[in-house]
Amino acid sequence: TRVLGDVVFENVDFGYTEGKIVLHDVALYAKPGQKIAFVGSTGAGKTTITNLINRFYPIMDGKIRYDGININKIHKSDLRQSLGIVLQDTHLFTGTVAENIRYGKLDATDEEVIKAAKLANADGFIQHLPEGYNSILTGDGGSLSQGQRQLLAIARAAIANPPVLILDEATSSIDTRTEAIVQQGMDRLMEGRTVFVIAHRLSTVKNSDVIMVLEQGRIIEKGSHNDLIMQKGKYYQLYTG
């Protein structure tokens, strides 16, 4: 059974180690197709929340539900199939470009690989590689630019067609033209999915349905960009620099 992408946190407390609570009383409601952005300074707990959405760790108190079902009751393989992840630095392995994309869905056909690459805006640069989709990537994709690696990561996530997506946006700068290409691929990937994004780009934050501002493991503000600007709180401070 695939989840639809309704994700709820109720009063979640969590710590990596006994006696040190890292998330305090976190509440979160994501409806299918919504974009939720996490912002906040380093160590605030952004990555930790996404770790819990993935069920990488058990929570100490509270509830996490997918479509109303307790996350602990969902079969591991169902959870894995429901979640796509695009991290700042995607791991590419030694193998062909097609194999690296197919990693997101091992039984994908060549047509599916190409379709995912097109959605991700990766098809263009792949066509220009000496062997196209059969070009071998070595040493963690070292022969590709950072932007190209990101496009492959988007293709890899797209091919699995997950209802829920976790994105950790890259902080490092790529040139504006590449960024526009990556952004367009990312926008297409996000379309119709519930997306949790650790947001660094202002464009992403502004366009999210809900922005959650974290500070020392607590959600101190949440709302749309306009709501939070009007509140003139922490988000307003971050935004106006």
Binding footprint of ligand GTP on the chain (CB under 6 A): 16-17, 22, 40, 42-48
Structure tokens belonging to residue 168: 């950790």
54 binds Mg ion per the rule CB under 5 A? no
Signed CA dihedral, 72, 76, 82, 87: sign only: positive
Residue 30 interacting partner from Mg ion, ligand GTP, none (CB closer than 5 to 8 Å by kind): none
Residue 16 interacting partner from Mg ion, ligand GTP, none (CB closer than 5 to 8 Å by kind): ligand GTP
Q: φ, ψ for residue 185 (rounded to 5)?
A: -65, -40
CB of 87 to ligand GTP, least distance (A): 11
For 51-60, b/e burial (b = at least 16 CB within 10 A) is: bbbbbeeebe
> Which span (40-48, 115-123, 174-182, 208-216) binds Mg ion, by CB under 5 A?
40-48
For the chain, give the longest Cα–Cα distance. Answer: 55
> Which span (25-33, 39-47, 57-65, 89-97) binds Mg ion, by CB under 5 A?
39-47
Specify the residue for token string 């069920």: 55
Q: How far apart are CA 181 and CA 167, in angstroms?
A: 17
Among 34, 47, 183, 224, binds Mg ion (CB under 5 A): 47
CB nearer Mg ion, residue 148 or residue 208: 208
CB of 20 to ligand GTP, least distance (A): 7
DSSP state of 109: -
Q: How far apart are CA 236 and CA 229, in angstroms?
A: 5
CB nearer ligand GTP, residue 43 or residue 192: 43
CB of 165 to ligand GTP, least distance (A): 17
Binding residues for Mg ion, rule: CB under 5 A, are 46-47
